[in-house]
Structure 1
Amino acid sequence: MILTQIIAAQDTTSAALANDNSVRVIDLLFQGGFMMIPILLLWVAAVYIFIERVLSIKKSSTAPEGFMTQIRGLVEKGDVKGAKMLCTQYDSPIVKMIEKGIARIGSPLKNIEVSIENVGKIEIFKLEKNLSLLATISGSAPMLGFLGTVIGMIQAFIAIAQEEGSVSPKLLSEGIYTAMITTAAGLFVGILAYLGYNYLVTRVQKIVHQMEYSSVEFIDLLQEPKN
């Protein structure tokens, strides 16, 4: 009987502590001060940029299967019009580059290479849209968090200086952990933004390699001797 009461009391105490901790975590988010607002805005911007870029890059990376094989067959037959029609059916950086090259067939090879390269630069610029902003967020969020911590510490020490008599340890500890909230929030946003930036850069580089390979393959096709 006594053992049952002790176990029940421990369970009640554990549940109370758990509830108290959950409330404190929520309270901490609101106690971070006004610097939590720009950090939250950076978090929203980072999530939006990451999702938008992932969807856009995924769409651009879906090169049509067997596209270059079809282009090779049409160009070897001399069916330039058919090759152009094939390109209009797809929307990807690789197709746009090849379409520009097909439109320049008959011009000097150097002009064709320059035209393809220019289109490639434009498509890469589109792929890298807002990536620099995501990189900026990954660096600025921790700095804003640190600034919020410094401001919070200043406010805490002002409160301590205005306290008459002995300073309560509770007052000191509350001021410190409240000030540290912005640093934790800033680091959280910064780390996730940094990871997202590196992931997107890797995806873009993969597409760029595919674009370079396809352009070289197309130029080689034009240089092949005609039977």
Structure 2
Amino acid sequence: MMNLIFLLQDTIPAAAADSTATAAPAVAAQSVNYFSLLMKGGVMVIPILLLLFFTIYVIIERALYISRAGKENDALINEVRMHLGSGKLEAAQLAASKANTATGNILESGISLIGRPLSEIEGMMEKQTNVEISLMEKKLGWLGLVAGIAPILGFIGTISGVIKIFYTISITENISIGSISGGLYEKMISSGLGLIVGVVAYSGYHYFNMIIDGFALRVQRAVIQFVNIITVGK
């Protein structure tokens, strides 16, 4: 019995010391410097990061512009109806221009041609609508381009890294798992980063296109209401 007690006294502190020693690397592994880890991805990380910053800039710039230009203002068409009903063309045109929105610009283009044939008015409003939509779609092509390029750059970085790893193995004849996995996980960072940037750009591109499609539907409704005002007086 006494031997068992002495044995436990010797083994428990040793086990505690071993657990402490194994816990220390685990804690150290958790404190990772993500920037230095990112930089291990190779030279392709730099252009991918530049594409990320450019994508964020385009998304913010387009979001601000589209939210302002595509602003929906139901009171505007009612104000235009009131002025036109009173025969105040200049007041109606001024109200549309002061709205400072794409819908206001489209209505202003139609009001400026009142007295001309209806087909000419509708044609002008359609042209102005195409101009406003083109202004909203400006720079969205860059997002589509980044969505395609960023993942490819990431894959190129990974492939070039893998080539270097196997070239080193062929020279040194060291095929240990540590040498392969250590270099491989670093090179896969560029692929992961490229995919993230591509997803962000792809999502922004299609999100803004959905917003612009919704704007086009609202404009069609506003044009129909405007045509009813100048033709039937509703």
- TM-score, normalised on structure 1? 0.89
Equivalent of 1:172, from 177, 180, 184? 180
Aligned partner of residue 143 in structure 1, secondary structure: helix
1:47-196 alignment, distance < 5 Å:
47-164=56-173, 166-196=174-204
Distance 1:60 1:8 in 2: 67
2:206 maps to which residue?
198
Task: Rate the CA distance shift 1:70–1:155 in 2: closer, same or farther, 3 A.
Answer: same
Distance 2:220 2:17 in 1: 69
How far 1:145 sits from its partner (Å)?
A: 0.5
Structure 2 unaligned spans of 5+: 1-8
The reply on whether 1:28 has 2:70 as its aligned counterpart is no
Distance 1:113 1:174 in 2: 66
Deviations 1:51-96 (A, max 9, x none): 1111111112323341111111111221101111212321001000
Task: Rate the CA distance shift 1:27–1:6 in 2: closer, same or farther, 3 A.
Answer: farther
How far 1:24 sits from its partner (Å)?
A: 6.2
Distance 2:81 2:17 in 1: 78
Amino acid at match of 1:98: L
Distance 1:23 1:37 in 2: 20
Amino acid at match of 2:222: S
**Does the Cα contact within 8 Å between 2:76 and 2:99 map onto a contact in 1?**
no
Aligned partner of residue 23 in structure 1, secondary structure: coil
Aligned partner of residue 114 in structure 2, secondary structure: coil
Amino acid at match of 1:150: I
Task: Rate the CA distance shift 1:56–1:9 in 2: closer, same or farther, 3 A.
Answer: farther
**Does the Cα contact within 8 Å between 2:85 and 2:233 map onto a contact in 1?**
no
Structure 1 unaligned spans of 5+: none
Distance 1:36 1:140 in 2: 13
How far 1:148 sits from its partner (Å)?
A: 0.7
2:3 maps to which residue?
none
Aligned partner of residue 73 in structure 2, secondary structure: coil
How far 1:28 sits from its partner (Å)?
A: 2.8
The reply on whether 1:222 has 2:230 as its aligned counterpart is yes
Task: Rate the CA distance shift 1:195–1:3 in 2: closer, same or farther, 3 A.
Answer: farther
Name the % identity: 32
Distance 1:82 1:8 in 2: 86
How far 1:169 sits from its partner (Å)?
A: 2.0
How far 1:201 sits from its partner (Å)?
A: 1.3
Distance 2:119 2:16 in 1: 84
Q: Which has the larger radius of gyration?
A: 2
Task: Rate the CA distance shift 1:98–1:11 in 2: closer, same or farther, 3 A.
Answer: farther
The reply on whether 1:210 has 2:213 as its aligned counterpart is no
Task: Rate the CA distance shift 1:152–1:216 in 2: closer, same or farther, 3 A.
Answer: same
